[in-house]
Structure 1
Amino acid sequence: MTDATPSRHWPQPEVAEDLGALRRAAPLTHCITNVVVANVTANVLLATGASPAMVHAPEEVADLAAVAGGLLVNLGTVTAEQGEAARIAVRTANEHGVPWVLDPVAVGPLSMRTALARELVQERPAVVRANASETLALARAAGIAEVGAGGEARGVDSTAGPEAALGAARGLAAETGAIVAVSGPVDHLVSPDGSVVRVPGGHELLTRVTGAGCALGALVAAFLAVAPDPLRAAVAAHAVVAVAAERAASGARGPGSFAVGLLDELSRIDPHARRV
């Protein structure tokens, strides 16, 4: 198991390199995401340096998915129409070599999205980004035997920590070939070979504003367009958000000012700095 360098430092030079690449390329990031967080997600992408496109219509998603740098499929407020759009976009992305992220929001207790997530996770996402309870539920839905213990979903909240979901994450990663990124106080990023990178940092205020995790999934998709491999993309996205959250929290009066500060700090991070 590998740890990133402690918070308030860059985890490794590759993160700075990949952030610099993202700022130069401004990759088009296609987001099929939930209505609650679309604005937050778009603003996080813009602040970091990517170019968001929030296109959900089944009639249009193939056109965009074919030319995007990365694709996010987020199931937060999924409808039948959005589910069909996700299928089309994923199929198109795979045909054109566009890497994509699955964010299986609130799978487990809700049947339609759980069935859709089970279907989509078999389509070879580059990264699955979820909290611990969602990871456990998705592994169960996908028929992964070693899912670990504990942790039921409560809406979009997790009642388990990342360590409790490591068995499930390893099973999902081995089955699908994806990096499985389990969010928590310390994020755990699991590779198909079972190795784990832990990204510390961030702040508790991330859990008190709408859309932080969903926006993180979109940022992973943006980094997939410029990083040399999915693990580096996932590490870069998680590390950048962790650093920006710490900086934003230091001057925040509460969740509202933190949310605004997070955007400011994402835009201010200097990829050439050695310390934050």
Structure 2
Amino acid sequence: MQDSTPTTLALGTLASELERLRAASPLVHILTNEVVQEITANVLLAAGAAPAMIVAEEEAATFAAMSGAVLINVGTLYPARLAAMRVAVAAAHAAGVPWTLDPVAAGVLAYRTDACRDLLAQGATAIRGNASEILALAGLGGAGRGVDSTAGSNAALEAACELARDTGAIVAVTGEVDYITDGDRILATPWGHPLMTRVVGTGCALSALVAAFTAGAQDRLTAVASACAMAGLAGERALATSAGPGSFKAAFLDALYAMDPDELRSRIV
């Protein structure tokens, strides 16, 4: 690495990336955890993208090739779903469509860990995971407990850089502070709130947002970091009108929808 010091993403960069996303409203093909489909779709709609969930193996390749981006989330993995994921990833790769991997619980169970490594051979654009998942994919073990991480994001920063260099993907390791790297540059997004972890699907939905921001991106590092920043800032703003996880979910969607690029730029000093 030329510089291992993380740089906080500029809000002006987020503002520009958000304007780009909303102008394009990319179609995102989502093959995701069955537990989180509803919140994932709503997060994309609120942010300004267009979600679609085509899960049959017979259709997945055709739809992936015509999409703006593809998300692969292995949360509820089984053979038929994995088969659809494989053809979708192959078609996306062949068509030059960016695709993102969310390696849910990689390192905890061999089936999904092997599947993730197999999928990564198709050239992922981005990988978004917690510290334990990133450590596992980098071959450095992990400290996972099911879908949760027992390691902080800073503990996986070097692993994220190594994984980015090995795969060519932008790697986002998320936690109290999110770190996003291409193996050389490192961006940090320090926003968010612990209440986000009390709503099922916020992390998985973030991975879909990452996929959406990669569509048409000229600089995929800043695109992925902008997705992380948008979600974290929306989480902070949602807290102000929330009494607990139930109201937080609605407020989070509202905050994504209401995020204003001009207001973001006004905060720059």
Provide TM-score, normalisation by structure 1.
Answer: 0.92
Which structure 2 residues correspond to residues 39-58 of structure 1 after superposition, within 5 A?
A: 39-58=38-57
Contact residue 18 and residue 226 of structure 1 kept, 8 A: no
Tell me, what secondary structure is at the counterpart of 2:58?
A: coil
Partner Cα separation in structure 2 for residue 164 and residue 22 of structure 1: 31
Residue from 254, 258, 261 that aligns with 2:248: 258
Residue from 205, 214, 220 that aligns with 1:215: 205
2:99 matched residue in structure 1: 100
2:191 matched residue in structure 1: 201
Cα deviations by residue, 1:50-92 (Å, 9 ceiling, x for unpaired): 0000111101111110111110000000110111111101110
Structure 2 stretches of 5 or more lacking a match?
A: none
Contact residue 107 and residue 142 of structure 2 kept, 8 A: no
Tell me, what secondary structure is at the counterpart of 2:97?
A: coil
Partner Cα separation in structure 1 for residue 158 and residue 62 of structure 2: 38
The residue type paired with residue 206 of structure 2 is L
Q: Are residue 17 (structure 1) and residue 16 (structure 2) matched?
A: yes
1:4 matched residue in structure 2: 8
Offset at 1:275?
A: 4.4
Contact residue 4 and residue 12 of structure 1 kept, 8 A: no
Tell me, what secondary structure is at the counterpart of 2:121?
A: helix
1:240 matched residue in structure 2: 230
The residue type paired with residue 192 of structure 2 is G
Residue from 245, 263, 267 that aligns with 2:257: 267
Cα deviations by residue, 1:134-154 (Å, 9 ceiling, x for unpaired): 1111112xxxxxx3xx74110
Contact residue 21 and residue 48 of structure 2 kept, 8 A: yes
Cα deviations by residue, 1:189-218 (Å, 9 ceiling, x for unpaired): 12122x311111111111111001100000
Which structure 2 residues correspond to residues 1-276 of structure 1 after superposition, within 5 A?
A: 1-4=5-8, 11-140=10-139, 147=140, 151-193=142-184, 195-273=185-263, 274-275=265-266
Partner Cα separation in structure 2 for residue 234 and residue 3 of structure 1: 14
Contact residue 219 and residue 237 of structure 1 kept, 8 A: yes
Tell me, what secondary structure is at the counterpart of 1:119?
A: helix
Partner Cα separation in structure 1 for residue 142 and residue 151 of structure 2: 4
Contact residue 241 and residue 266 of structure 1 kept, 8 A: yes
Offset at 1:160?
A: 0.3
1:144 matched residue in structure 2: none
Offset at 1:229?
A: 2.1
Partner Cα separation in structure 2 for residue 65 and residue 229 of structure 1: 22
Contact residue 160 and residue 183 of structure 2 kept, 8 A: no
Tell me, what secondary structure is at the counterpart of 1:160?
A: coil
Partner Cα separation in structure 2 for residue 170 and residue 24 of structure 1: 31
Identity %: 50
Partner Cα separation in structure 2 for residue 2 and residue 135 of structure 1: 17
How large is the RMSD of aligned CA atoms in angstroms?
1.3
Contact residue 177 and residue 191 of structure 2 kept, 8 A: yes
Cα deviations by residue, 1:20-49 (Å, 9 ceiling, x for unpaired): 111111100000001000111000000000
The residue type paired with residue 173 of structure 2 is V
Tell me, what secondary structure is at the counterpart of 2:173?
A: strand
Tell me, what secondary structure is at the counterpart of 1:44?
A: helix
Tell me, what secondary structure is at the counterpart of 2:75?
A: coil
Partner Cα separation in structure 2 for residue 181 and residue 160 of structure 1: 15
